[in-house]
Amino acid sequence: MAVVSTPATLERAVPVMDNAEVLRIRNDFPVLNQLVNGQPLVYLDSGATSQNPVSVIEAEQEFYEQRNAAVHRGAHHLAVEATEVFEDARQTIADFIGADYEETIWTSNATEGLNLLSYALSNAGLWAAQGRGDQRLGELSLGPGDDIVVTEMEHHANLIPWQELAFRTGATLRYIPIGDDGSLRMDQAAGIIGPRTKVLAFTHASNVLGIINPVAELAALGHAAGALVVLDACQSAPHLPLNVKELGVDFAVFSGHKMLAPTGIGVLYGRQELLDILPPFLTGGSMITTVTMERAEYLPAPQRFEAGTQRISQAVAMAAAANYLTETGLARIHAWEAALGQRMVAGLESIPGVRVLGPAAGKERIGLAAFDVEGVHAHDVGQFLDSRGIAVRVGHHCAQPLHRRLGLTATTRASAYLYNTTDDVDRFLEAVAGVRAYFRA
């Protein structure tokens, strides 16, 4: 069987996926077997939200049919079973990203995870000022004279929480710029990340550019400066093998709905020694040890950050999604999607009047491509493609500063996943080739 070379972190060759296997995979996704505007659906919007296989849908349904109950609160049979499957799901996700059980926190999505972390860090300053909690909290608190560093390519979810943390604490927000090709100016990064840096937050893979950033190199710069390193893994965890310990990050976030799971579920990973001393963000039931009318004491992680009734069925379904991806093989998925991404970029670059953002054909990227069609607004491009049964994303993709840097207000983005074929990409390219003529641009 043929093999394909994968990034060095994968370390070994893997069997190639092909269209025949992908067509079998498609049968696991009921929503894909439909017509849109009289055409077979080509779903190229998985970078926004992926579709769900039958095994994930059934996992959530089975929970409600067989063991629906509150977790951690009851001694009756259903409550015990619900707690067991909920915590088993946590272990599954921890294994999926190379983390420990205690380091894996359920959130509603990645955005909540980043907000949780930013508010926990501002609470660290409040606690330290009052002499409350662990004495190491003072090292985690931020104030005037401290820097928070992000990049110019960040999704708003990994930008605005840090803007607000800077506002609350008096810290300064700085960013690593990008070059004209969209890549990070690593030659400037070492001068931006320094002794004042308390937090370094960046995306693993850009949801607009498709670029895979040098995580280990950035993490080394951050740790050399004594900073906490935060990774947005929303566009990597669903698509390539991820080991947070090997990457050397302190925190990472990702969302279930981008990796075959339902909406309303996400994960925050954090090193246990940090999580156990950080103040909680949301407070209430299930995350406390002792409560008096004057104060409360909190459990260690992960329960420390999981107040109230949890997203139980969604967590169970997310574990089923992780199992589906693991059984298919993340290395194989990554290689297939990378090939689709190259096919998309090469095809788009050959169409007159189309500008592709990010790496040119032949350079490493994940399986997505954002592009601008000269003389045609992205929304019109998206509607034209939709009329041909092709689902893509249009707008600024929650990355306005990045678009502004590249001289654009909006783009069209096609993003592939393990259920897309080369025929899907070719149909998409054929449709894009007709856009300018249709609109007489």
CA distances from 93 to 100, 135, 215, 317 (A): 9, 31, 21, 11
CA distances from 226 to 87, 167, 197, 398 (A): 33, 21, 7, 30
Q: Which amino acid is at 67?
A: R
| Beta strand spans in 288-441 (E) | 288-291, 296-298, 354-356, 368-373, 390-391, 393-395, 411-415
How many residues comprise the chain? 441
One-letter identity of residue 354: V
- One-letter amino acid of 372: D
Could you give the CA distance from residue 140 to residue 121 in angstroms, rounded to a whole number?
7
CB 189 within 8 A of CB 225: no
- 155 touches 203 (CB < 8 A): yes
Residue 232 contacts residue 110 (beta carbons within 8 Å): yes
CA 257/CA 238 separation, integer angstroms: 9
Single-letter residue type at 332: R
The answer to whether the CB of 238 falls within 8 A of the CB of 324 is no
Q: Is 234 a catalytic residue?
A: no
Q: Is the dihedral of CA 8, 9, 11, 14 positive or negative?
A: negative
CA distance 426 to 430: 6
> If we measure between CA atoms, which residue out of 323, 340, 344, 311 comes closest to residue 418?
340
| Angle CA 369–210–409, to nearest 5 | 65
CA angle 33, 255, 125 (to 5 degrees): 170
Helices (H), 130-235: 137-140, 160-169, 186-192, 215-224
Catalytic residue among 398, 422, 426, 433: 398
The secondary element (H helix, E strand) that includes residue 174 is strand 172-176
Q: List the catalytic residues.
A: 398
